[in-house]
Structure 1
Amino acid sequence: MGDRVRAARRTILASARDESRGLPFADGVMRAVNQAVGFDGYCLFAVDPVTGLRCAMYAEHGLVVPTERLVFNETVERDFNRYAELIRRPGHAGVLAMHTTPEPPSPRLHEILRPLGYQSELRLALVDDGRYWGALSLFRDDRWQPFSDAEAATAAELVGPLATALRRHQVRRTDSRQATRSAGIVLVGREGRFLTVSQEAQTWLGDLTSEGVIVEDVSRVVHEVARAAAAGRRDALCRARTTDGRWLVISGSRTPVEPVAVTVVVQPADTGQVIPAFAAWSGLSHRESEVLGLAATGLAAKQIARRLGLSVLTVNDHLGSTYRKTGVSGRDELLALMS
């Protein structure tokens, strides 16, 4: 591992501890990536670690393409370096480029990237501790040489720190909270197009955006939930966090009333809905997650101990470990972080 990669890894992890919101977080992370591998544009996203569906987006000079087109390419078209493939591939990295021999028959390259002026893409699936946390796509235009296999190997050295950065940022502490609002509704047709987006849903999606990311980008979160629901998945949902720290749950269900295929609901999440993803992002053990779930209902340590067949001392040890992992000083602060 070279000095530039080591420096990039350190900077990424430092950015992960930055509790600033939106672009400042992504900007710091991506400046570090640029130390190791240069690029002209990027798209970085996090997924709900329980369902694997997108929950946060960060981008600069990304792909200004209708979201339905990107979803179709990722899920239906035959193409190279799909994220699902990279998750299983050693190194979790892949390059797609023009002017190679033979040139790849890639719809994404020729129909999406090239019209936007990009001639090369480097993708990373952010897999760490055996779990998929998100992904990063880097883009280059004609001023650069295409990404090389050597650069892909260099970028692969950043997978662990990038995954850690995304995890920490999803459970960051925030200072400001706005008043909550009612649920929003998105009606999705059979071809994946949004038929109706309520004002509440539009506003909630706007709260997921940050400087450099537009609502069209964030709508990918809704598209993925809708597609999972259309496929019959019972866990067609993701937990997402607004830029000011409020938790949302975005869930989809089949709606067999033409022309609607799926109804997606965007609404504030309760603590019980947040805990599974929060526990995974925070690196809690199975037992720590159980204790946290019961603590969130208001049970005292003695009651939790009785419920789980543990000693009070053991319960308090699990709570103490959870406080350390989440960077809080006690139960009230922990519960506030999930509300």
Structure 2
Amino acid sequence: MSSPVAQRETVRDIEAICRLDLGSRELRRRIAERLTRLVPADSYCFGTIDPATLLITDDVSAGLTPAAAAAAAHNEYLVDDVLKFAALARSERPAGTLGAATGGDPESSHRYRAVLPMIDARHELRASFVVDRRCWGAIALFGGGGRPDFTPVDVDVLRRLSAPVAAALRRAVHRAPADAAPGPAEVPLATAQLV
């Protein structure tokens, strides 16, 4: 279990990252790297979300296979399950664990049965990043069977980061991507989307 000092330092460090002039992908990579030093995870996905539709528009991840990413997207939009990003975005509590959301019975979750085994995960911690009642991003952290489940303290850290991370993601939408690698360029969100 992390100390209160480590928790405060992590929140402070991530708030400082949020104040940097970074493109969205680099911002998310740095936040995830710092966050996972406090909240150990074997893999993660950190997406931007269109605040009007609550659809994921881009994803930065580590430890996920393409097949797992496709299965996760299918679960997110087409399967009835708990702890969906859109539900977290509308909730007073924008973060939670799969274990708590299922009342300690994660087997009752389709995502637990169908997606988590694809990445050898047994635990999941999710959060939506919301400011001014608008969601700008979401993260899922995954832990393998060798790790204990995420704790209420881990959930609280993500809740405390919801607004500052959302505000930083909102600002990053309007920045040119300084961190774009060769290949398809990151495109800022426009006023409309074709789905």
Q: Please give the TM-score of this superposition, normalised by the length of structure 2.
A: 0.79
3-state SS in 2 of match to 1:207? coil
For 2:10 and 2:190, the matched residues in 1 are separated by: 32
CA contact (8 A) 1:22 1:58 kept: no
For 2:21 and 2:32, the matched residues in 1 are separated by: 16
Structure 2 gaps of 5+ residues are none
CA contact (8 A) 1:63 1:113 kept: no
Larger Rg: 1
Q: Once the 2 structures are TM-superposed, how far is the Cα of residue 35 of structure 1 from its aligned partner?
A: 4.1
Corresponding residue of 2:85: 83
The answer to whether 1:131 aligns with 2:143 is: no
Q: Which has the higher contact order (CA 8 A, sep 6+)?
A: 2
Change (3 A) 1:55 1:78: closer
The count of residues paired between Structure 1 and Structure 2 equals 190
Task: Report matched runs for 1:60-71 at 5 Å.
Answer: 60-62=62-64, 64-65=66-67, 68-71=70-73
Task: Report matched runs for 1:53-202 at 5 Å.
Answer: 53-62=55-64, 64-65=66-67, 68-97=70-99, 101-172=104-175
Corresponding residue of 2:185: 207
For 2:85 and 2:178, the matched residues in 1 are separated by: 34
For 1:93 and 1:29, the matched residues in 2 are separated by: 16
Change (3 A) 1:146 1:176: closer
Change (3 A) 1:175 1:40: closer
3-state SS in 1 of match to 2:66? coil
Residue deviations 1:88-142 (CA, integer Å, cap 9, x gap): 33221121149x8544311111111123211100000112221111111111112
3-state SS in 1 of match to 2:115? helix
For 1:64 and 1:156, the matched residues in 2 are separated by: 28
CA contact (8 A) 2:43 2:142 kept: yes
Q: Once the 2 structures are TM-superposed, how far is the Cα of residue 173 of structure 1 from its aligned partner?
A: 5.1
Corresponding residue of 2:30: 28
For 2:24 and 2:121, the matched residues in 1 are separated by: 25
Q: Once the 2 structures are TM-superposed, how far is the Cα of residue 20 of structure 1 from its aligned partner?
A: 4.6
For 1:86 and 1:22, the matched residues in 2 are separated by: 21
3-state SS in 2 of match to 1:27? helix
For 1:102 and 1:49, the matched residues in 2 are separated by: 31
For 1:22 and 1:88, the matched residues in 2 are separated by: 22
For 2:173 and 2:149, the matched residues in 1 are separated by: 32
Q: Once the 2 structures are TM-superposed, how far is the Cα of residue 151 of structure 1 from its aligned partner?
A: 2.3
Q: Once the 2 structures are TM-superposed, how far is the Cα of residue 249 of structure 1 from its aligned partner?
A: 7.3
Aligned counterpart in structure 2 of residue 37 of structure 1, from 18, 36, 39: 39
Letter in 2 for 1:4: A
Runs of 4+ in structure 1 deviating by more than 4 angstroms, as ranges, are 20-23, 173-177, 247-250
For 1:124 and 1:85, the matched residues in 2 are separated by: 10
Structure 1 gaps of 5+ residues are 178-202, 209-239, 242-246, 253-263, 265-339
Give the fraction of aligned pairs with identical amino acids, expressed as a percent. 24
